[in-house]
Structure 1
């Protein structure tokens, strides 16, 4: 499970018991600062202030965002401050969309531009001690060509949902402290920087660079203790160094470390260590930081990617960080659930299109074993001098925030699909090289330019039928950064011009909503299959990422972009199971045998049944009568797949049960059944908490699903009943249209908890259906 930051209570990062036997000392107090903010939109000055908790979206939007709110909003909060003698007080903002002016007691202390990366406010000298203080944040979210991505919302391919939409923390520590990597603004420095430069199964060696600051008015003698512990809390390295730091100055210290027989990090074994660094003055601990790290060796060649010395093909997806209604205001748990779903779908790689994603999502990738392409903000736009300046700062801040994550293997310091100049590309790559001057720092760009280590074209950037299969350029490995959508949306047919000649353009597209019916869902899955198979024919392709994991809103469009393999509510489509079937059996946690019949088996169903499975053979039964037992179907659009689909021709529809059994080595390993649905009679409720429970410590957001079923509990995919949701108590609220019309037999609403909760009860009812309730 993800080691989530506790949000809503004060936490102490660590207590140290010194070897001399003195009592424990409390260090660096990090407190959630998300509760009890006052909020209002500035275009409604006479409206009352609302009490809100963070993360928070400036405006709840409809499911399809035709006209996203833009403007200025104000957040303010009163809080008591005790004596700060010899202390420092900071506020850490993980993300505010997209310009934030921060005031402490009416003094402007920060003006941060950029909606996706963190910033720190040093409030120490602005606070009144032993008194009530006020922090005010003016949040400006309007079209601004100087702030990346820079493009006006009305022509942007994603939305910029306003508000203080990520976590905020109050940090109290001492006058000598370990800095924040982004706030320190040091090239290849600031905070903690951990790097292993020699790695093999026998030994890993590297260093921990710590940046320290003394904000007192005298020189101080200190000790710096560096420890490295494995997941079982075994100490594999420890050292103490005597240092002196002058008044009102900073220093960096580099400590060399070695780990014998390291437990290497990989997607199949995401082993993590903790670096613990503390400052002691005499025998008194005065500051402390912990950083989770992984030890892994990556190498990029002309034609392959290697992880820990083994060649690995990157099978990935793209992700937008949006939820319906609340936009970007996700809890840490919701971020983790998204990462889990990506991993569960069979992917080992995710591209964070087209901006930096939340810190909780990055941590989830580390813990789950998801390789990451990290991206700066950008899409089809490059601005003037100030835009370039801000974009360069994004490169710096992204590297400083995420450099210790073992999941990050590529840095997309490229403005996606934008006409970047040679000067810009050379500049951002020089900046990245200065920040991370290591052999395994790999830059990625969508333009085939020698400034970048990795070329990341999308399939639509080349012509059919070969796309990038015939790409040959010495020293230019490629990752197909997007595939499966546009080549079927705009060109409408991919390779299958004749086969698709009887289909309408909308039927050929991969943009199929979950209620598009079997025909649409099968077409989307076929498109992804064909493109996946085609990509594997490219000699220099080291990986690919489909477009995309989840449906999402676009700034310029009045409909959802529906090429996700799951819908915006995270409910899988048929294509999800195609990808899940490409995962080999035996992988830890996510490598289970699977079989899936891609049909609802109704009178409208095609009798040509497709089954996705990672088994060696599949037997299909109709009403317990064997139709056939087959090996996978090998043809021109499946011959390169790890696990091609299985195809069965039943010639005609017969009501009843279809059952697929998967075999490995002649033994049954997995089963899937579907039954022809009967009349809809009842509702079944569930909440999307399978892999991580709703937080008991801070506000959370989770999907609640009302499945419309027949008397046997079979989903009725054609049901579109309107379902009314109700929640008991005042500890949670429902967000979204209510009642809501079911889509393909499932009605979904978003549950947002508002305080610490013991239990939540949700009821669902619909005319002529048996109602139900759910306790969480």
Structure 2
């Protein structure tokens, strides 16, 4: 097989195949098709928790037992409060679903694909236990062909156990873990009814460097590229079969670029056949964060001229190389400017819709990052899809944090490595595979095996890179900034590997290496010592947090690193502490802090397909009597003019301090002699012309509520358990948010479901709820009210 990286993207399944949402229902060929439509398997489930753990015949019989609650997927076993003295729920829960498979499908292959289940799943069908799956972050498929009753009612039962288990990664007891792993069938479940001859599932097949579709490119240049394609076809029929594989490459407009079809080949009953093909791409448009161009690849299996299986993939053409002097994308040096991200939401925990995953990626890109580390486990495929589409480079990670278990744990962890690569190998966004357990004292044999596993699954000589926090075995060394000591940190690193700082900005202020010793620093909350600041702690704390990130990011440039990733994008909840971990540049409700705009200022100005990186300017000051008289402005422009009540204060170039002298776009600091109420206006100039402007008004007395919601590139969708944040801002007569308002706000919702608390106390002038759409598209009205404030109503529609 050739030497270049795998670069494609897989979308939603249809009839056992993978079909791009919105794609044509037929391929661009004239062959007839024998592919059944998809079966929506996320609706009409029943759920119970903390029940008798013994599975009895009654579990598989419909009854009027009200202990079974109707639910739809994705689902968490318990809606968790934002802050509580109690730990997240742990225990045993059950999901069941009654369903039919038509008698006319009795010749088909029938399987159930689980996107993820936390974390030990026993799967039963019609009273018989079929399989146990270990691990809460990666998919598994259960073949039910010989157990389903065609033309009759079936009962699928899933027993889940998310209690502490040292053999299931991450393995560490929840009370000592730095994140929560939550519960439930929190990703989609699919019923696959397909021909018994079909493209295999790469995870289910379990074949090294095999299963499903494997895509990579060689000889990539602006003039041409060669797409090398491997398709594995499985024959689960009781007869030998003869099939062909046809591959068609299309551009973004649906125009055919290239096509290839192999000669008819035989597959013995019960066997797999790998088909290798090659397509030429003339004048390829290369995938990059600024121009994330994707082609469409259609792979079809034909029997006697009829299409019996089809998968469609988005594919991006690019080359990558990590060297000691930098990261190279398409032979151009690119500095990785990144963040870390936990996948949880308040209340819903891990049970996020695909749209919610997309919105998180949108904000990461909007905040100016070109790189994200998936801390500390593999994310939803929908998040990776969004990174492909939006142009975000990715470090994919196995489950693990400060825990190295026994032989069974290590076996399960090694399987996590292989399953992660098999599931995600075709995403153009992924440039690093973290096959290392984060901040964990691993054995050398374990590190060697997990490093080798990635290279066995992706056997190319170039373009495949593992990474680990220990400087051993892995291709790229990824310590955290605080893993070394001040004042040098990593500036004197003399190793030979590419160096990337996978975490910085959280703990390395006075409390050296506190990340390894939470107990000793449990009460450390002063703003000068950490970046852990809630949005409601005030502008002084938010300004200090932003300065901490700025100082660390600036200092990182003194090290021989290829890039860095701050800790972190959004606030989250931890197992070992009841409070919110508040290092995020956005809070747990996805509302930006000052630091969000510092990072946004480090990107651009450029032109991208979605409008990211355009000229921007932001005033990191509330401009009220208690505000600092030094006004910091973040901008990616060349100059900024600050005005107060229409009169110029100054027009100046960026700062030149020891905290900013390595930055692409240092902040602009203006000193005002005294506070005068009114309006601050900042105008950014690019190439001598006004390019962006913003205002900050002195807040007055609270007068009314103002409603908005977080669309972030995706409308609220019906029938998908999609949820969006709705914000009720306490504003004055001019519409300025009152940043010290903590007013309780009550919400009334019609046409959708309110998730979480009601009323909600405002934090820094904004009260937030989650709004979840129903099964069918509808008009939705949200009304917010509070004592002594004018109410407000927002109308939106679920699509």
Give the TM-score, by structure 1 length. 0.95
2:71 equivalent in structure 1 = 52
Q: Does 1:365 align with 2:384?
A: no
Checking the alignment, whether the CA contact within 8 Å between 2:680 and 2:697 is kept in structure 1 is: yes
2:677 equivalent in structure 1 = 655
Out of 175, 188, 192, the position equivalent to 1:167 is: 188
Q: Give the direction of change, closer, same or farther, for the CA distance of 1:10–1:468 in structure 2 (3 Å limit).
A: closer
Q: Give the direction of change, closer, same or farther, for the CA distance of 1:492–1:422 in structure 2 (3 Å limit).
A: closer
Q: Give the direction of change, closer, same or farther, for the CA distance of 1:709–1:8 in structure 2 (3 Å limit).
A: farther
Q: Does 1:576 align with 2:596?
A: yes
* CA shift digits 1:98-122 (9 cap, x unpaired): 1111111112122111110011111
| Aligned-partner Cα distance in 2 for 1:370–1:169 | 28
Out of 278, 285, 296, the position equivalent to 1:263 is: 285
Q: Does 1:562 align with 2:562?
A: no
Alignment of 1:216-235 (within 5 A): 216-235=237-256
Q: Give the direction of change, closer, same or farther, for the CA distance of 1:6–1:392 in structure 2 (3 Å limit).
A: closer
| Aligned-partner Cα distance in 2 for 1:260–1:610 | 49
> Any idea what SS the aligned residue of 1:486 has?
coil
2:464 equivalent in structure 1 = 441
Offset of residue 477 of structure 1: 1.1
Q: Give the direction of change, closer, same or farther, for the CA distance of 1:504–1:238 in structure 2 (3 Å limit).
A: closer
1:498 equivalent in structure 2 = none
Checking the alignment, whether the CA contact within 8 Å between 1:720 and 1:741 is kept in structure 2 is: yes
Q: Give the direction of change, closer, same or farther, for the CA distance of 1:382–1:196 in structure 2 (3 Å limit).
A: same
* CA shift digits 1:620-659 (9 cap, x unpaired): 0111111111000111110000000001110211100000
| Aligned-partner Cα distance in 1 for 2:274–2:638 | 56
> Any idea what SS the aligned residue of 2:379 has?
coil
Offset of residue 378 of structure 1: 0.3
* CA shift digits 1:390-433 (9 cap, x unpaired): 00000100110111100000000000000001010011111111
1:25 equivalent in structure 2 = 33
Alignment of 1:38-117 (within 5 A): 38-43=46-51, 48-65=67-84, 66-83=86-103, 84-117=105-138
| Aligned-partner Cα distance in 2 for 1:202–1:715 | 53
Checking the alignment, whether the CA contact within 8 Å between 2:112 and 2:191 is kept in structure 1 is: yes
Offset of residue 504 of structure 1: 8.0
| Aligned-partner Cα distance in 1 for 2:705–2:637 | 34
Out of 268, 276, 279, the position equivalent to 1:246 is: 268
Q: Give the direction of change, closer, same or farther, for the CA distance of 1:16–1:747 in structure 2 (3 Å limit).
A: closer
Q: Does 1:184 align with 2:219?
A: no
Offset of residue 302 of structure 1: 1.4
| Aligned-partner Cα distance in 1 for 2:274–2:226 | 19
| Aligned-partner Cα distance in 2 for 1:489–1:407 | 36
| Aligned-partner Cα distance in 2 for 1:772–1:8 | 45
Q: Does 1:459 align with 2:481?
A: yes
> Any idea what SS the aligned residue of 1:531 has?
helix
> Any idea what SS the aligned residue of 1:612 has?
strand
Offset of residue 361 of structure 1: 0.2
2:164 equivalent in structure 1 = 143
2:628 equivalent in structure 1 = 606
Alignment of 1:231-630 (within 5 A): 231-241=252-262, 242-438=264-460, 439-449=462-472, 451-474=473-496, 476-488=497-509, 490-491=511-512, 505-539=526-560, 541-588=561-608, 589-630=611-652
Checking the alignment, whether the CA contact within 8 Å between 2:639 and 2:651 is kept in structure 1 is: yes
Checking the alignment, whether the CA contact within 8 Å between 1:146 and 1:387 is kept in structure 2 is: yes
Identify the range of structure 1 (422-431 vs 409-418) with the bigger mean alpha-carbon deviation.
Answer: 422-431
| Aligned-partner Cα distance in 2 for 1:359–1:312 | 25
1:733 equivalent in structure 2 = 753
1:689 equivalent in structure 2 = 711
Checking the alignment, whether the CA contact within 8 Å between 1:15 and 1:26 is kept in structure 2 is: no
Q: State the number of aligned residues.
A: 760
* CA shift digits 1:119-154 (9 cap, x unpaired): 111111110011011110001100000010000000
| Aligned-partner Cα distance in 1 for 2:761–2:579 | 17
Checking the alignment, whether the CA contact within 8 Å between 2:719 and 2:773 is kept in structure 1 is: no
Offset of residue 506 of structure 1: 4.0
Checking the alignment, whether the CA contact within 8 Å between 1:8 and 1:697 is kept in structure 2 is: no
> Any idea what SS the aligned residue of 1:524 has?
helix
| Aligned-partner Cα distance in 1 for 2:596–2:453 | 38
> Any idea what SS the aligned residue of 1:248 has?
coil
| Aligned-partner Cα distance in 2 for 1:527–1:18 | 54
Offset of residue 492 of structure 1: 10
Offset of residue 601 of structure 1: 0.5
Checking the alignment, whether the CA contact within 8 Å between 1:319 and 1:351 is kept in structure 2 is: yes
Q: Unaligned 5+ residue runs, structure 1? A: 495-502
> Any idea what SS the aligned residue of 2:260 has?
strand
Q: Give the direction of change, closer, same or farther, for the CA distance of 1:212–1:492 in structure 2 (3 Å limit).
A: closer
Q: Give the direction of change, closer, same or farther, for the CA distance of 1:757–1:552 in structure 2 (3 Å limit).
A: same
> Any idea what SS the aligned residue of 1:189 has?
coil
| Aligned-partner Cα distance in 1 for 2:380–2:242 | 37
Checking the alignment, whether the CA contact within 8 Å between 1:6 and 1:698 is kept in structure 2 is: no
Offset of residue 12 of structure 1: 7.4
> Any idea what SS the aligned residue of 1:255 has?
strand
2:3 equivalent in structure 1 = none
Q: Unaligned 5+ residue runs, structure 2? A: 1-8, 54-64, 516-523
2:175 equivalent in structure 1 = 154
